[in-house]
Amino acid sequence: QVQLVESGGGLVQPGGSLRLSCAASASRDRTYTMGWFRQAPGKERVFVAAFRWSASDTVYADAVKRRFTVSRDNTKNTVYLQMNSLQPEDSAVYYCAAHSSRIISSRLADVRAYDYWGQGTQVTVSS
């Protein structure tokens, strides 16, 4: 079983920044594809970003492009989500997700494609 543990959420003012972390208990061969999703109250869980450990590129949702950046620490099996220029509409519970094999590009944004999920971390953007 793969465990994902998110951290780094909190309250931030509009225009501020936060960095979320997701630590995986398993090696990269069991978390081949990793993603970030978010869920606002009363709304569906939606895609934020995703990547494969074997690839250099990261896919981002249009809503976060040029503001959010995913980075990785291969030695720690940890993924980070740097969030800049945060706005109130970014407020949500942020989840880290993983799948044990390659997810095709067309399904990277599909919550059903992921096997493992973290418990989530709350991000609130408010003045």
pLDDT recorded at residue 64: 97
CA distance 12 to 45: 21
Tens digit of each residue's pLDDT (9 = 90 or more) over 3-53: 999 999 999 999 999 999 999 988 777 778 999 999 999 999 999 999 888
Contact 89, 68 (CB under 8 A): no
Tens digit of each residue's pLDDT (9 = 90 or more) over 54-66: 877 899 999 999 9
* For range 105-124, the mean pLDDT: 95
CA distance 1 to 126: 36
pLDDT recorded at residue 56: 77
* For range 74-86, the mean pLDDT: 93
Letter for the amino acid at 37? F
User: What is the distance in angstroms between the CA of the first residue and the CA of the last residue of the chain?
Assistant: 40
